[in-house]
Structure 1
Amino acid sequence: LSVVAENCQQGQLCESCDFFRELDNCQSAEKIPHFLCKSGQIFVNSSGYLLCEEGLLRLIGCQPGTTFELITKKCVKSRTAGRSKRRRRTAIGSSLVGDVCSFNTDCQQGMFCSSGNCQCLSDFVAVEEHCWPKINPGESGCANSKQCDAVWPDAICSTTGVCECPPATVPSRTRDGTVCISSLIPPSCPLPEPHNGIPNPATILANPSTHPLNPGGYMPVLCTSTSTEIHRSNGGDGSTWCVYPDGDNDIFVADIYDCISHPQVTNELFPEFHDTIDGICCQNRAFVCVQPMESGDEPSVPRWWFNSATGSCVQFTWDPTTIEGASPNNFRTVDHCESYCRDTCKRGAVEFTKSSAVIFEEQPKSGCLSSGFRCSHDHECVLIGSSQTCCPSTAHLCGPYGGRQYISKPILNYDRGVAIAGSKSTTRYYYDVERSQCVSFVYHGLGNFNNFVTKQECEVFCSRLVCTNGSPLRIGEDWQRCEASTECPSSHFCSTSHRVCCPTAQSICTQPKQSGDCTSTIRRYWYNAVTRQCEMFHYTGCHGNDNSFHSLVACQQQCKGIRAEPKCPNGRAYRDHLGKFVRCSPQTRCPPNYVCSYDGLTHGCCPTKAFTCSLAADKGVRCGLGRSYRYFFNAAKQACESFQYEGCDGNSNNFLTAQHCEQYCGVGGCPNGGFPLQEEKSVRPVACSGLKGCPSTHECVAIPSKGNVANRCCPTKEHICSQPPLAGSQCSSVTTSRYYFNLVTRQCTSFHFNGCSGNLNNFASKELCNNFCSSAACELGETVLKDPGTSRPFRCNSDLRNSCPPKYQCRFSKLLTYAVCCGSPVTDHCPEGERPYMVSIDETVKECSANIPGSCPAQFLCRFNLQKNKYYCCAPDSENFCPEGRALFRSRQTSLPHRCVLNFLNECSAGFSCQSRIKGVTQGFCCTERSVCKGDAQFIVDDGTKMPRICTPGLLHSCPIGYHCQLPKPHSTNGFCCKVDVDVITEGCPPTEYALTDGKKVVECDPFNSSRSCPAEFSCQFAVLFQRYQCCGKIPPDGSELSSRGKTKSGRTVRIR
């Protein structure tokens, strides 16, 4: 033995080792390492050792968490025990079961890389750290009994390397492989396996009343395993393969029943039959695996049943005495259930190579993907584990043939079969290809595979006939019908052959992973659109979605290149003509009305807010979700209104609630976010004006609402950024990282947000938080100037002139505790002489919709930019919105200017018209039709009304120094304070009066001589300073008052000095 241990070393060639096997003869009681040969190399089974007991070597397993150590020859604690992941090996193809991997090539033969770990293929079994092929009973090639037990419970590997059936059972060959049957009486089929060694003949094919050998009574259907006759029963004498004798009719069942040879089936025991009989007729592998679960009357024994709808094995309890309605879909272990039913075609029998000798020698066709041969027209090549198998196509299974090999096409689209012994008539469902739907029928037995226990199972399986991938769209209980793809939502297309809406690859592959809520554990694959990789997950057996594939290859073929759908603030991202989402970048720009947006995972083209809020309501396309009421922004009325939504598609102007609509489109909502202050009792918005202010936390802002504009108290940026962080309530499965302005550190800091019910001090990124809160001292439409090197606000000194660049003003920020420069940067978005409205949170220019009231803030107009092909909010960069000398109209209630459309119907009040300082534009403001003062002189604007100050001539202090009260008409009572010309002379006249001049000469007068009197508007006053009489008046003189001959308009002559 010492020589063996010395020669046998892991990794060396098997030829150098003399292997000891279980049950070999032995003498010494020494513990012997259990060496195995795999792929020509020596491996050690560290889970146990060989020990000599009663002259035979027995495999003794170590305790869980321990491994056999070669040096000490003891089971010691495993070094990897408790680790959740195994090590990563450097050599390609050297990783063992559980080791970390990245690709299939990292793992050894018989394995694949799943979720970062090496796992065995379905037709291999894990023997410690290695994967060994499963071996059928009666086949050679085993080295460990686990290879046999994984196929048939309690089967063992003999000393000659052949898998042997358990005690009291014998092997019997079928086309699907060797099965183990009880050798006892009465003869019984392999399944269900006997309980306590007592065979149950309930699943043997038998005729309850019409067998030719026993009319009116029970009679089993026996057969000859070496016969090739599959259509005629020869009177049911058993001289043929399995053919069901139904009186004078013979029913073909050779493709769903196997003739299984049995030691107790002989002519001596069954003298009524032909002398060649040697077998019983049992359901073959494919037919067994679609049978329903039958528990019996008094279930008590745990068993496993294969659910063909989910492709998984489910545990149940069974009454082993059941005779009526017994089902062969009944396994003692989950390994047996999976190897028998899961590791084959999902439904229907594999395609076999034809044999002219005996039927059980036919072999399944294999290698259809790699070799030159192809599957027949009604089969398709499927990769099952490491095998390439021809399985019935969905069209073959869900059609009239139902996956069977009938000689001629069935008359009906379904097969109700005939009543056999032990069967019960029951309601089943079949797929009707002519009606493209699942229909119920009464099933007796011996039917085909177009036969489902529930309508849902039928629709799930046969939907692949209608839709190549995924399930058809539903409206209630039925599939959504269509004639063209325009009748389906954009997530689906119309399958013209079946006229139903089928999901697109983009729709399938971007669905989230959905494990379901049942109790099974089924290996499936889903496409992670974020990582763009197919990943394994465990499906629980029900309530999943279409992003669930049976194999890694199927997942990769369907979803190759699919990108995750970008999440937009509202609406869906832009898609190309193939329905795929466009990924944008600095090099790949978005189409007009869309902007490149990043949702934290991917970039996409999202509809702009201006575009969204300008769209008309779109009811969308009818789909499975059904009709509901949504809200859209009516740009003409400047209000959010409800509309009936069909359930899918439509456009981005679609909101679940009126509040969301108003907040998004800026109607009724505040420009900095949130909503206006409300009265506590009436819950009505608080109105404000120049006379009635707002609390210190709010500011008076003009807000468009329902076609009107009203002044409301909105929260200031300072107030918003002073709020403490609020985690909110949990409304999603995960928390997200957000940012808030920290008053203590004066910086933006991250916090965890639960998803709902937070406050406004909540920003998606640190940059957005800094942009918004650093501009708290700025007016609406202004941003703060930043240092290009540090991206921090530029500090200024309000006591110094020109401490900020042109078009910026120095303002003190209470949040930052220092002064910053506020204004608008120089851009090419607006016409010359106007500034853009800057959105402070992202520092972009606000877009708008032309000719829609409220699209821009009160003092801004919607201007079209030809180069950018977009509309932007712009305002004059000076305080004067009208041409020189003209006055701006303002509302008495709100003091807001009135915007209007040029060269259109006059929307302005009497005496006003639509005008603009900028040429070539379509919008302007209501301005006075005539100049307020003569010669377009400057006038004073009243602080309260924001309109030209009204004055009364002759009234002391009616206008300040340098201004005089000018009447718009000769006999007007009131006028406006207009600026006096700098050349006007006041010396020698009383305060607030002006000297009459001719050119630059003061006109003298004589109060005692009427021929030298002053004009009517002037009086003759004595100027003490100059010791003369001169003409003085309340209104500054106009040079045109005198003629070149020195006469007044009345014809009087005055003296000029």
Structure 2
Amino acid sequence: NFLSQDHCEKFCSRILCSAGEPLKDSSGERNMECSPTGSSSSACPSTHSCESTGGSTTFGGLGLKGVCCPRPQYVCKLPREQGNCGTYSNRWWFNAKTGNCEEFIYSGCQGNANNFDSYKECQDYCRDARSEPQCIQGTALTDSNGNFIICGGSTAASTTCPANHYCYYDGTTYGCCPTQAYTCSLSYKAGATCGPAVTRWYYDSTTRTCQTYSFNGCDGNSNNFATQQDCKDYCRVESCPDGGEVWKEPNGAARACTSNRQCPSTHYCTPVTTWTGTVYQTKSLCCPSKNFVCSQPRDVGVRCSSTRISRWYFNADSKTCTTFEYNGCEGNRNNFATQKACQNYCLSEACPPGTVVAKEADAGRLVSCSNPGGSGRVSGGCPEGYSCYSSPLLDQNVCCGASTELQSLCPTQSTPFISALSLQPMQCTPNVDGACPGNFFCWFSTASSSVNAFYCCRSPDSVDTGFCPPQLVPVPGEGGAQYRYCSPSAPANDAIQGCGPNRHCQFSTNLERYICCGLESDVRLPNVCPPQPANLVPVELAGNYRSCNPYARSGTPQSCPDNSACLYTGTENGFICCRVQLGGATEPKIL
């Protein structure tokens, strides 16, 4: 006599399994059969084991030799689930994060297998279960008993990771996770049946494209992605250095560029390597900034499969990563496979490509700093190898760079490209075009911390001067001034205290005030001043040409500042203010 059909089924399933329910076949109705001693035991996925139903069990007369029951390692990592009914009772579940059994209120139906009648039953079943390390992609390595292999800094570490795996710490647990190079070299694997099949994506290393396949629901391998964009980002298929798709024209062609000015204000110009079908081709294209990606609202996309996918997006208002149900297609780039990937990416919003934020080792909080623009030695709290940046998305200063341990992977005065999604150094294949993002080269590392011998390292072409952060240079001010001063709270288009598009207001430790900084290709406007007299350069106003009226009286808004003149450019810019470039061989008189 049971309260409901659900209660009856769950109770009688426990006669078959120690905890949880037997695995269903592809129909979703019948128990999957197996033989505990025969070769058909392979029918059970690695998350389940074959348990006999014969002998003294109640269901021995059904003719089943065995059913696939969930292993403790699988059951004990499931989240607490209350269910949606109204017959409440006190139950116990195993909290994998704390390693303890905890009481909760169960509604009487639904829920999952991590649900026990008593504290003792819970403890006895889950006492040997270990928390699952959360790999960036794929699942952590297990031993023959299904227990996760512990590595690295844990006191319980039992071994080092084998080839094609690296030791990864997810903030709670150490585990051996598959490397990016290994994952993207694997053929797809349909996996073991444990319910209806679903459509997934895999990277085809032969065609260098992401393709779909039918996944049976369990096991398989790490070359298994929920969306095409996840596959492209992870295996770098027509993907920007920090992930996302390049900006495309209405005709579908990627927009080529030579500076940020040729990109939308939400994007930046950077070298991107794509596969044409026969060869790799590298050219500068417009990629979305992390600020733009993480500022986009939640977009559930359009329905393109029978199931929805649990994903994460960065909520710019609460400044936290929040889960949502994704329909499977379209949507926007503010869409991450895990909470960890969402946090990693958006907390590094202010960091230049290839660098990430510094976090406190114990609590995982961001390391704060007090003077954006300073070097690691004087950045008001930044550890060695990091510089202080102002993050408009987070409304605080953050430290961007790479740890000294990761820097040891590259030659002196160079740093590795750190993925904003995984916080791991990017691996590469030597002597292959497009193996690394632009301005990075593939380097053989002999460091003791090296897992894969080759890493993408930055060309040592920048020096921290104490004026602007690495990779950036000062924006010149009006009238030939060496610096343009600014306010970090002013809008970018503010004519007095703004820096203009694609530039940053950063604190200069040498000047002890805020100045505008930008990429060298964007700092100076193209020179459209007349060729004569010689050495003329444009006067800037908030990052743009200062337009003028040649007939305006001196001192009026349409006139030019001292030591400059209103001249016709012969271009769409019309009349602009031009001045003599300081340091020229001659300083001719401007009439």
TM-score range, shorter chain: 0.5 to 0.7
Partner of 1:856: 436
The residue that corresponds to 1:613 in the other structure is 184
Amino acid at match of 2:455: C
Cα distance between partner residues in 2 of 1:501 and 1:733: 26
Q: In 2 relative to 1, CA 650–737 (structure 1 residues): closer, same or farther, beyond 3 Å?
A: closer
- Are 1:478 and 2:17 counterparts? no
Q: Which residue of 2 aligns with 1:755?
A: 323
Per-residue deviation, residues 121-177 of structure 1 (Å, max 9, x unmatched): xxxxxxxxxxxxxxxxxxxxxxxxxxxxxxxxxxxxxxxxxxxxxxxxxxxxxxxxx
Contact 1:701 1:711 survives alignment (8 Å): yes
Give per-residue Cα distances to partners, 1:63-92, cap 9 Å, x unaligned: xxxxxxxxxxxxxxxxxxxxxxxxxxxxxx
How big is the shift at 1:675? 1.2
Q: Which residue of 1 aligns with 2:61?
A: none
Tell me, in whole angstroms, the C-alpha distance in 2 between the residues paired with 1:489 and 1:665: 27
- Separation (CA, whole Å) in 1 of partners of 2:341 and 2:215: 34
**Is 2:492 aligned against 1:873?**
no
Is the alpha carbon distance of 1:712 and 1:478 closer, same or farther for their aligned partners in structure 2, counting shifts above 3 Å? farther
Q: Once the 2 structures are TM-superposed, how far is the Cα of residue 660 of structure 1 from its aligned partner?
A: 1.7
Could you tell me which runs of 5 or more consecutive residues in structure 1 were left unpaired when the two chains were aligned.
1-289, 291-305, 312-456, 741-748, 797-807, 880-1057
Q: Distance in 2 between matches of 1:738 and 1:650?
A: 30
Q: Deviations over 1:401-452 (max 9, x none)?
A: xxxxxxxxxxxxxxxxxxxxxxxxxxxxxxxxxxxxxxxxxxxxxxxxxxxx
CA radius of gyration, larger in: 1
Whether 1:506 and 2:80 are equivalent positions in the alignment is no
Asked if structure 2 preserves the Cα contact closer than 8 Å seen for 1:621 and 1:646, the reply is: yes
SS in 2 for 1:626: strand
Aligned to 1:709: 281
Matching residue's letter, 1:846: M
- C-alpha distance in 1 between matches for 2:198 and 2:140: 22
Residue matched to 2:214:
644
Contact residue 492 and residue 502 of structure 1 kept, 8 A: yes
Q: Distance in 2 between matches of 1:661 and 1:704?
A: 15
Specify which of 45, 48, 57 is matched with residue 492 of structure 1: 48
Instruction: Decide whether aligned partners of structure 1 residues 750 and 670 sit closer, same or farther in structure 2, where only a CA change above 3 A counts.
Output: same
Partner of 2:18: 468
Give the distance between the partners of 2:20 and 2:261, measured in 1 at CA.
63
Answering whether residue 189 of structure 2 is matched by residue 633 of structure 1, we say: no
Aligned-residue offset at 1:516: 3.0
| Count of residues in correspondence between the two structures | 402
Q: 2:226 aligns with which of 656, 660, 674?
A: 656
User: What secondary structure is seen at the aligned counterpart in 2 of 1:642?
Assistant: strand
Q: Give the secondary structure class of the aligned counterpart of 1:630.
A: strand
Shift in Å, 1:689: 6.1
Task: Specify the SS of the correspondent of 1:754.
Answer: strand
Residue 470 of structure 1 deviates from its aligned partner by 2.6
SS at match of 2:177: strand
Structure 1 distance, partners of 2:132, 2:179, is 17
Query: Is residue 676 from structure 1 mapped to residue 246 from structure 2 by the alignment?
Result: yes
Q: How does 1:386-785 map to 2 (within 5 A)?
A: 457=8, 460-475=10-25, 476-483=28-35, 484-495=40-51, 498-584=65-151, 586-587=153-154, 588=157, 591-592=161-162, 593-597=164-168, 599=170, 602-623=173-194, 625-679=195-249, 681-688=250-257, 693-695=262-264, 697-705=267-275, 707=277, 708-711=280-283, 713-715=285-287, 719-721=289-291, 725-726=295-296, 728=298, 751-755=319-323, 772-773=348-349, 775-776=351-352, 781=354
Aligned mate of 2:425, from 830, 845, 852? 845
Which amino acid counterpart does residue 418 of structure 2 have in structure 1?
V
Is the 8 Å Cα contact of residues 463 and 471 (structure 1) preserved in structure 2?
yes
Tell me how far apart the structure 2 counterparts of residues 733 and 690 of structure 1 sit (CA, whole Å): 37
How much does 1:465 deviate?
4.5
Equivalent in the alignment of 1:405: none
How far 1:693 sits from its partner (Å)?
A: 5.0
8 Å CA contact 1:506, 1:579 repeated in 2: yes
Measured after TM superposition, the shift of residue 659 of structure 1 is 1.8
CA deviation map 1:11-31 (0-9, x unaligned): xxxxxxxxxxxxxxxxxxxxx
Cα distance in structure 1, aligned partners of 2:192 and 2:454: 33
Measured in 2, the distance between the counterparts of 1:516 and 1:770 equals 33
Partner-residue secondary structure (3-state), 1:848:
coil
TM-score (norm 2): 0.55
Q: 1:775 to 1:547 in 2, by over 3 A?
A: closer
Q: CA deviation at 1:473?
A: 0.6
Q: How far apart, CA to CA, are the structure 2 residues paired with 1:649 and 1:733?
A: 18
CA distance in 1, matches of 2:113, 2:458: 56
Counterpart amino acid of 1:751?
A: K
Give the structure, 1 or 2, with the largest relative contact order (CA under 8 Å, sep 6 or more): 2
The separation in 1 between residues aligned to 2:260 and 2:371, in whole angstroms, is 37
Cα shift at 1:657 = 1.9
Q: Is contact 1:863–1:874 with CA below 8 Å preserved after alignment?
A: no
Distance 1:540 1:596, change over 3 A: same
SS at match of 1:662: helix
Q: Which segment is superposed worse, 698-707 or 657-666? A: 698-707
* Matching residue's letter, 2:251: S
Q: Judging changes above 3 Å, is the alpha-carbon distance between structure 1 residues 835 and 824 closer, same or farther for their aligned structure 2 residues? A: farther
Distance 1:645 1:846, change over 3 A: same
Give the superposition deviation at 1:753.
4.0
> Against the structure 1 CA distance between its residues 706 and 571, is the aligned structure 2 distance closer, same or farther, given a 3 Å change threshold?
farther
**Inter-CA distance 760–549: structure 2 relative to 1 (3 Å threshold):** closer
Aligned AA (1:863): F
Q: Is the 8 A contact 1:678 1:685 kept in 2?
A: yes
CA distance in 2, matches of 1:876, 1:599: 26
CA distance in 1, matches of 2:76, 2:192: 22
User: SS of 1:663's equivalent?
Assistant: helix
Question: How far apart, CA to CA, are the structure 2 residues paired with 1:674 and 1:604?
Answer: 28
Normalising by structure 1, we get a TM-score of 0.32
Deviation at 1:605, TM superposition (A): 3.9
Indicate how the Cα distance of structure 1 residues 851 and 641 shifts in structure 2: closer, same or farther if over 3 A, else same. Answer: farther
Deviates more, 1:562-571 or 1:766-775: 766-775
Per-residue deviation, 1:873:
2.6
Instruction: Quote how far apart the aligned CAs of 1:667 are.
Output: 1.2
CA distance in 2, matches of 1:761, 1:308: 39
1:829 to 409, 427, 431: 409
Partner-residue secondary structure (3-state), 1:614: coil
* Pair 491,641 (structure 1): closer, same or farther in 2 beyond 3 Å: same
Cα distance, 1:499 vs structure 2: 3.0
Percent identity at matched positions?
Answer: 31
Note the alpha carbon deviations across 1:817-839, whole angstroms, 9 max, x for none: x9x99999794434x68945322
Q: Give the aligned CA root-mean-square deviation in angstroms.
A: 5.1
1:597 CA displacement: 4.5
Question: Matched residues in 2 for 1:594 and 1:611: separation?
Answer: 8
